[in-house]
Amino acid sequence: MNSTTQHILKGSLSVIILKLLEDRERMYGYEITQQVKALTAGEMAITEGALYPALHKLEAEGLLTTETEVVDGRARKYYSLTKDGQQQSVSRTSELRAFMQNLNLILNLKPAV
Amino acid sequence: MNSTTQHILKGSLSVIILKLLEDRERMYGYEITQQVKALTAGEMAITEGALYPALHKLEAEGLLTTETEVVDGRARKYYSLTKDGQQQSVSRTSELRAFMQNLNLILNLKPAV
DNA sequence: ATTATATACCTCAATATCTTAGGCATATAT
DNA sequence: ATATATGCCTAAGATATTGAGGTATATAAT
């Protein structure tokens, strides 16, 4: 993943997290990083330095709840959507889609040849 | 334009500027703000506090050149793409498109019902 | 005449988000 | 024994944006 693409990610990370949890119901941080890589064939990667603060913020906002478990001798912190989180996932996803549609109106302009 | 959509704009502004100049060849700052509103039926707005620093940076990077003119008693600063700017417009646009396609892979996940 | 709005440029403090680099710890493969 | 994968985390610095402000001219409305 090049720096430009990484850069453009700004602001969409929380929507990505919410949407993944809508799909999976229950995920832990490391799993999220791997799932994003898997879904995008390695083209997108989210750094842990961005992910964990984002998760903590969403939890503080009341959109996520956590359960910690020990699996294979290692601690895992599972995140799930709260009611609010489910609603926010829907609304933020549709806002992001609307934004992308508008952005595409600009990107699809034909250059004056 | 709500705060979330505004928020998600982060990082795509320079691509928007480059692409608009690819379409129009020659635009001034205020015109860019109006054109974005017009193209998106008022749903997207770029603030001047973001636009002017972005224009200055692109100029400093050698992607834009400027010509200042007085029209109807008011000064206008016209921006155009340099050779480098044209190349960057193409490459950054395709990177943004690639990013959006990957993002859509995630947004189109079907929730586990 | 005065005021508001549109046009047109700009800066800057505060805020938010991200990158990069690091730390800590366990399990497994080499 | 060492490297890699798994798993959590923080923090300094860089960067982009918001939101508010400043300056100025032309025009429309009152």
List the beta bridge partners of residue B84. Answer: none
Element (H, E) at A21: helix A13-24
Is any atom of nucleic acid chain C found less than 7 Å from the CB of residue B110? no
Judging contacts by C-beta atoms under 8 Å, the chain B residues touching residue A40 are 102, 105-106
D11 C1' to A66 CA distance, Å: 24
What digits encode the pLDDT tens for the residues B83-113? Answer: 999 999 999 999 999 999 999 999 999 876 6
Range 40-99 of A in CB contact (< 8 A) with B: 40, 43-44, 92-93, 95-99
Q: For A66, how many CA atoms within 13 A lie in the half-sphere containing its CB?
A: 15
Per-residue confidence band for A73, with pLDDT thresholds at 50, 70 and 90: very high
pTM of the model: 0.91
Yes or no: domain B3-107 corresponds to CATH 1.10.10.10: yes
Q: What is the Cα–Cα distance from B98 to B101, expressed in whole angstroms?
A: 5
List the beta bridge partners of residue B28. Answer: B78
List the beta bridge partners of residue A64. Answer: A81
Element (H, E) at A40: none
Judging contacts by C-beta atoms under 8 Å, the chain B residues touching residue A25 are 112
Q: Do B111 and A22 touch (CB under 8 A)?
A: yes
Would you call A83 exposed, middle or buried from its count of C-beta atoms within 10 A (0-12, 13-18, 19+)? exposed
Q: What is the Cα–Cα distance from A29 to B36, expressed in whole angstroms?
A: 37
B75 to chain A, minimum CA–CA distance in Å? Answer: 25
Q: Do B4 and A93 touch (CB under 8 A)?
A: no
Q: What is the Cα–Cα distance from A84 to B31, expressed in whole angstroms?
A: 40
8 Å CB contact between B94 and A7: no
Q: What is the Cα–Cα distance from A28 to A33, expressed in whole angstroms?
A: 9
**Residues 6 or more apart in contact with residue A77 via CB below 8 angstroms:** A28, A29, A66, A67, A68
What digits encode the pLDDT tens for the residues A1-42? Answer: 444 455 556 789 999 999 999 999 999 999 999 999 999 999
Helices (H), chain B: 3-8, 13-24, 29-39, 48-60, 83-107
3-state secondary structure of A69: strand
What digits encode the pLDDT tens for the residues B24-82? Answer: 999 999 999 999 999 999 999 999 999 999 999 999 999 999 999 999 999 999 999 99
For A6, the closest chain B residue by CA position comes to B99
**Residues 6 or more apart in contact with residue B10 via CB below 8 angstroms:** A10, A11
